[in-house]
Amino acid sequence: MNLPHKDYDNLIYGIHPVIEAINSEKEIQKILIQDGLKGETIKQLILKAKLHHVFYQYVPVEKLNRLTRQNHQGVVAFTSEIGFSNIEQLLPGLFEKGKTPLLLLLDKITDVRNFGAIARTSECCGVDAIIIPVRGSAPINADAMKTSAGALNKIPVCRSLNLKETIKFLKEAGITIISCTEKTQQIYTSLSYTEPCCIIMGNEEEGISEEYLKLAHHKAKLPLLGSIGSLNVSVACGVILYEVIRQRAL
Protein backbone atom coordinates (compact mmCIF):
# COMPACT_ATOMS: atom_id res chain seq x y z
CA MET A 1 0.00 0.00 0.00
CA ASN A 2 1.37 3.43 -0.95
CA LEU A 3 1.22 5.95 1.88
CA PRO A 4 0.08 9.47 1.00
CA HIS A 5 2.66 12.20 0.70
CA LYS A 6 2.78 14.80 3.43
CA ASP A 7 4.89 17.93 3.47
CA TYR A 8 5.92 19.01 6.96
CA ASP A 9 6.41 22.63 7.99
CA ASN A 10 9.62 21.93 9.90
CA LEU A 11 11.62 20.33 7.07
CA ILE A 12 14.64 21.50 5.12
CA TYR A 13 15.46 19.34 2.11
CA GLY A 14 18.39 19.22 -0.28
CA ILE A 15 22.10 18.87 0.45
CA HIS A 16 23.15 22.52 0.11
CA PRO A 17 20.14 24.00 1.96
CA VAL A 18 20.84 21.70 4.91
CA ILE A 19 24.54 22.64 4.92
CA GLU A 20 23.57 26.31 4.83
CA ALA A 21 21.16 25.78 7.71
CA ILE A 22 23.94 24.23 9.80
CA ASN A 23 26.33 27.07 8.92
CA SER A 24 23.71 29.64 9.97
CA GLU A 25 23.35 27.82 13.31
CA LYS A 26 19.69 27.06 12.74
CA GLU A 27 18.43 24.64 15.40
CA ILE A 28 18.26 21.22 13.73
CA GLN A 29 16.82 18.20 15.52
CA LYS A 30 18.14 15.55 13.14
CA ILE A 31 19.22 14.90 9.57
CA LEU A 32 18.05 11.92 7.52
CA ILE A 33 20.37 10.78 4.73
CA GLN A 34 19.47 8.30 2.01
CA ASP A 35 21.13 4.90 2.38
CA GLY A 36 24.17 4.54 0.12
CA LEU A 37 24.37 8.22 -0.81
CA LYS A 38 27.96 9.23 -1.58
CA GLY A 39 29.92 12.17 -2.92
CA GLU A 40 31.98 15.12 -1.76
CA THR A 41 28.97 17.24 -0.78
CA ILE A 42 27.63 14.44 1.41
CA LYS A 43 31.03 14.14 3.06
CA GLN A 44 30.97 17.88 3.66
CA LEU A 45 27.46 17.65 5.14
CA ILE A 46 28.44 14.85 7.53
CA LEU A 47 31.56 16.74 8.61
CA LYS A 48 29.45 19.85 9.32
CA ALA A 49 26.94 17.77 11.28
CA LYS A 50 29.69 16.25 13.42
CA LEU A 51 31.35 19.61 14.08
CA HIS A 52 28.04 21.13 15.18
CA HIS A 53 26.91 18.03 17.11
CA VAL A 54 23.86 17.52 14.90
CA PHE A 55 22.44 14.00 14.96
CA TYR A 56 22.17 12.24 11.58
CA GLN A 57 21.16 8.79 10.42
CA TYR A 58 20.85 6.82 7.19
CA VAL A 59 17.35 5.78 6.09
CA PRO A 60 15.73 4.16 3.02
CA VAL A 61 14.79 6.58 0.25
CA GLU A 62 11.15 5.55 0.70
CA LYS A 63 11.11 7.23 4.11
CA LEU A 64 12.36 10.50 2.61
CA ASN A 65 9.77 10.28 -0.16
CA ARG A 66 7.03 9.95 2.45
CA LEU A 67 8.22 13.11 4.18
CA THR A 68 8.18 15.44 1.18
CA ARG A 69 7.10 15.61 -2.46
CA GLN A 70 10.00 17.91 -3.27
CA ASN A 71 13.41 17.03 -4.78
CA HIS A 72 15.20 16.22 -1.52
CA GLN A 73 18.42 14.94 -3.18
CA GLY A 74 18.58 12.23 -0.52
CA VAL A 75 18.79 14.61 2.45
CA VAL A 76 16.05 15.88 4.77
CA ALA A 77 16.54 17.78 8.03
CA PHE A 78 14.02 18.38 10.80
CA THR A 79 14.27 21.84 12.31
CA SER A 80 13.15 22.77 15.81
CA GLU A 81 10.74 25.49 16.90
CA ILE A 82 12.96 26.23 19.92
CA GLY A 83 16.59 26.46 20.90
CA PHE A 84 17.97 23.70 23.10
CA SER A 85 19.84 24.00 26.39
CA ASN A 86 22.65 21.96 27.92
CA ILE A 87 21.91 20.37 31.29
CA GLU A 88 25.60 20.32 32.27
CA GLN A 89 25.69 24.10 31.89
CA LEU A 90 22.21 24.79 33.24
CA LEU A 91 22.33 22.77 36.48
CA PRO A 92 25.14 24.68 38.27
CA GLY A 93 23.23 27.93 37.69
CA LEU A 94 20.16 26.49 39.40
CA PHE A 95 22.18 25.65 42.50
CA GLU A 96 23.84 29.08 42.45
CA LYS A 97 20.39 30.71 42.52
CA GLY A 98 19.56 28.72 45.64
CA LYS A 99 16.96 26.61 43.89
CA THR A 100 16.06 22.99 44.66
CA PRO A 101 16.22 21.64 41.11
CA LEU A 102 13.25 19.73 39.76
CA LEU A 103 14.09 18.04 36.48
CA LEU A 104 12.10 15.80 34.15
CA LEU A 105 13.74 13.22 31.90
CA LEU A 106 11.64 11.69 29.10
CA ASP A 107 12.60 8.28 27.72
CA LYS A 108 11.16 7.48 24.28
CA ILE A 109 8.24 9.91 24.47
CA THR A 110 7.60 10.15 20.73
CA ASP A 111 4.00 11.39 20.58
CA VAL A 112 4.05 15.11 19.78
CA ARG A 113 0.87 15.97 21.67
CA ASN A 114 1.90 14.01 24.74
CA PHE A 115 5.19 15.86 24.73
CA GLY A 116 3.46 19.21 24.39
CA ALA A 117 1.04 18.38 27.21
CA ILE A 118 3.93 17.28 29.45
CA ALA A 119 5.75 20.55 28.76
CA ARG A 120 2.62 22.53 29.65
CA THR A 121 2.18 20.71 32.97
CA SER A 122 5.90 20.96 33.70
CA GLU A 123 5.90 24.72 33.26
CA CYS A 124 2.86 25.03 35.53
CA CYS A 125 4.60 22.89 38.17
CA GLY A 126 7.87 24.81 38.15
CA VAL A 127 10.02 22.15 36.48
CA ASP A 128 13.46 23.67 35.85
CA ALA A 129 14.28 21.68 32.71
CA ILE A 130 13.07 18.83 30.53
CA ILE A 131 15.72 16.39 29.31
CA ILE A 132 15.16 14.40 26.11
CA PRO A 133 17.36 12.11 24.00
CA VAL A 134 18.70 13.31 20.66
CA ARG A 135 17.32 10.13 19.10
CA GLY A 136 13.89 8.68 19.80
CA SER A 137 12.03 11.74 21.01
CA ALA A 138 9.04 13.66 19.71
CA PRO A 139 9.91 16.42 17.23
CA ILE A 140 9.37 19.90 18.58
CA ASN A 141 7.19 21.17 15.79
CA ALA A 142 4.14 23.40 15.47
CA ASP A 143 1.84 20.73 16.95
CA ALA A 144 4.06 20.36 20.02
CA MET A 145 4.20 24.12 20.46
CA LYS A 146 0.43 24.45 20.19
CA THR A 147 -0.27 21.62 22.65
CA SER A 148 2.20 23.10 25.14
CA ALA A 149 0.23 26.39 25.12
CA GLY A 150 3.50 28.30 24.85
CA ALA A 151 5.28 26.40 27.63
CA LEU A 152 8.03 25.25 25.28
CA ASN A 153 9.04 28.88 24.84
CA LYS A 154 9.49 29.23 28.60
CA ILE A 155 10.94 25.99 29.97
CA PRO A 156 14.47 24.87 29.01
CA VAL A 157 14.61 21.67 26.95
CA CYS A 158 17.96 19.87 27.09
CA ARG A 159 18.98 17.24 24.57
CA SER A 160 21.27 14.37 25.52
CA LEU A 161 23.40 12.24 23.21
CA ASN A 162 23.54 9.56 25.91
CA LEU A 163 20.84 9.48 28.57
CA LYS A 164 22.77 6.94 30.63
CA GLU A 165 25.72 9.30 30.96
CA THR A 166 23.37 12.21 31.66
CA ILE A 167 21.76 10.29 34.52
CA LYS A 168 25.19 9.49 35.93
CA PHE A 169 26.12 13.18 35.73
CA LEU A 170 22.96 14.15 37.59
CA LYS A 171 23.64 11.60 40.31
CA GLU A 172 27.18 12.89 40.78
CA ALA A 173 25.76 16.42 41.02
CA GLY A 174 23.56 15.39 43.95
CA ILE A 175 20.29 14.89 42.11
CA THR A 176 18.02 12.09 43.32
CA ILE A 177 16.78 9.99 40.38
CA ILE A 178 13.19 8.74 40.62
CA SER A 179 11.75 6.47 37.94
CA CYS A 180 7.97 6.40 37.49
CA THR A 181 7.30 2.74 36.67
CA GLU A 182 4.92 -0.13 37.28
CA LYS A 183 7.93 -2.36 38.04
CA THR A 184 7.82 -1.62 41.76
CA GLN A 185 5.55 -1.92 44.77
CA GLN A 186 6.47 1.52 46.11
CA ILE A 187 3.58 3.98 45.79
CA TYR A 188 4.66 7.43 44.56
CA THR A 189 3.33 9.23 47.67
CA SER A 190 5.64 7.25 49.93
CA LEU A 191 8.75 8.93 48.50
CA SER A 192 10.21 12.32 49.37
CA TYR A 193 10.61 14.90 46.61
CA THR A 194 11.83 17.76 48.78
CA GLU A 195 15.47 17.34 47.76
CA PRO A 196 16.88 18.07 44.28
CA CYS A 197 15.39 15.40 42.04
CA CYS A 198 14.93 14.22 38.48
CA ILE A 199 11.82 12.25 37.58
CA ILE A 200 12.08 9.81 34.67
CA MET A 201 8.99 9.06 32.60
CA GLY A 202 8.82 6.39 29.89
CA ASN A 203 6.37 5.80 27.07
CA GLU A 204 3.12 3.93 27.63
CA GLU A 205 4.06 0.85 25.60
CA GLU A 206 7.56 0.02 26.81
CA GLY A 207 8.00 2.12 29.93
CA ILE A 208 11.47 3.20 31.05
CA SER A 209 14.50 1.42 29.61
CA GLU A 210 15.93 -1.18 31.97
CA GLU A 211 19.38 0.42 32.01
CA TYR A 212 17.90 3.67 33.30
CA LEU A 213 15.76 1.89 35.88
CA LYS A 214 18.93 0.33 37.31
CA LEU A 215 20.50 3.78 37.74
CA ALA A 216 17.54 5.23 39.65
CA HIS A 217 17.74 5.81 43.40
CA HIS A 218 14.02 5.09 43.73
CA LYS A 219 11.12 3.70 41.72
CA ALA A 220 7.62 5.14 42.11
CA LYS A 221 4.32 3.55 41.15
CA LEU A 222 0.95 5.17 40.50
CA PRO A 223 -1.82 2.84 41.72
CA LEU A 224 -4.27 1.65 39.05
CA LEU A 225 -7.62 0.42 40.30
CA GLY A 226 -9.31 -0.18 36.95
CA SER A 227 -8.77 -2.79 34.25
CA ILE A 228 -6.72 -0.59 31.89
CA GLY A 229 -3.02 -1.29 32.31
CA SER A 230 -1.58 2.22 32.22
CA LEU A 231 -2.28 5.93 32.38
CA ASN A 232 -1.59 8.34 29.56
CA VAL A 233 1.99 9.45 30.17
CA SER A 234 1.12 13.14 30.29
CA VAL A 235 -1.53 12.43 32.94
CA ALA A 236 0.86 10.29 34.99
CA CYS A 237 3.44 13.05 34.74
CA GLY A 238 0.95 15.57 36.08
CA VAL A 239 0.06 13.36 39.03
CA ILE A 240 3.63 12.93 40.22
CA LEU A 241 4.64 16.56 39.59
CA TYR A 242 1.77 17.81 41.72
CA GLU A 243 2.88 15.49 44.49
CA VAL A 244 6.24 17.27 44.31
CA ILE A 245 4.45 20.62 44.64
CA ARG A 246 2.40 19.34 47.58
CA GLN A 247 5.43 18.11 49.48
CA ARG A 248 7.57 21.16 48.78
CA ALA A 249 4.77 23.47 49.94
CA LEU A 250 4.54 21.81 53.37
Which of 26, 51, 79 marks a domain boundary? 79
pLDDT in tens, 232-244: 999 999 999 999 9
> In 97-197, where does DSSP find H-type helix?
112-124, 142-147, 163-172
Best CA proximity match to 162, nearest among 180, 135, 181: 135
Residue 53 domain-assigned?
A: yes
Residue 102 domain-assigned?
A: yes
Q: How far is C-alpha 249 from the chain's CA centre?
A: 28
- The reply to whether 95 and 34 lie within a common domain is no
* pLDDT for res 8: 56
- The reply to whether 168 and 69 lie within a common domain is no
* pLDDT for res 52: 87
pLDDT in tens, 203-233: 888 889 999 999 999 999 999 888 887 789 9
pTM: predicted TM-score of the whole model, two decimal places:
0.85
- The reply to whether 73 and 129 lie within a common domain is no
- The reply to whether 61 and 179 lie within a common domain is no
* pLDDT for res 3: 39
Amino acid at 36: G
Instruction: Determine phi and psi for 248, rounding to 5 degrees.
Output: -75, -15
pLDDT in tens, 5-17: 444 568 899 999 9
> In the predicted model, what is the mean pLDDT of the chain?
91
- The reply to whether 135 and 216 lie within a common domain is yes
What is the total count of domains within the chain?
2
- The reply to whether 95 and 72 lie within a common domain is no
Rounded to an integer, what distance in angstroms lies between the CA atom of residue 136 and that of residue 132? 9
- 3-class secondary structure for 74-86? CEEEEECCCCCEC
pLDDT in tens, 151-208: 999 999 999 989 999 999 999 999 999 999 999 999 999 999 999 999 999 988 888 9
Instruction: For the chain, state the CA radius of gyration.
Output: 19
Residue 62 domain-assigned?
A: yes
* pLDDT for res 24: 85
Residue 3 domain-assigned?
A: no
- The reply to whether 228 and 149 lie within a common domain is yes
* pLDDT for res 81: 84
Alpha-carbon dihedral sign for residues 149, 154, 158, 163: negative
Range of the domain at 106: 87-249
* pLDDT for res 9: 64
* pLDDT for res 4: 40
Best CA proximity match to 54, nearest among 23, 81, 82: 23
Across the range 93-110, mean pLDDT stands at 96
- pLDDT at 2 exceeding the cut of 50: no
Residue 157 domain-assigned?
A: yes
- pLDDT at 84 exceeding the cut of 70: yes
Which of 61, 79, 97 marks a domain boundary? 79
- The reply to whether 164 and 219 lie within a common domain is yes
Pairing label, strands 11-13, 75-79 = antiparallel
Rounded to an integer, what distance in angstroms lies between the CA atom of residue 213 and that of residue 177? 9
* pLDDT for res 204: 82
Q: What angle do CA 193, 199, 205 make, to 5 degrees?
A: 140
CATH number of the domain to which 92 belongs: 3.40.1280.10
CATH number of the domain to which 29 belongs: 3.30.1330.30
- pLDDT at 53 exceeding the cut of 80: yes
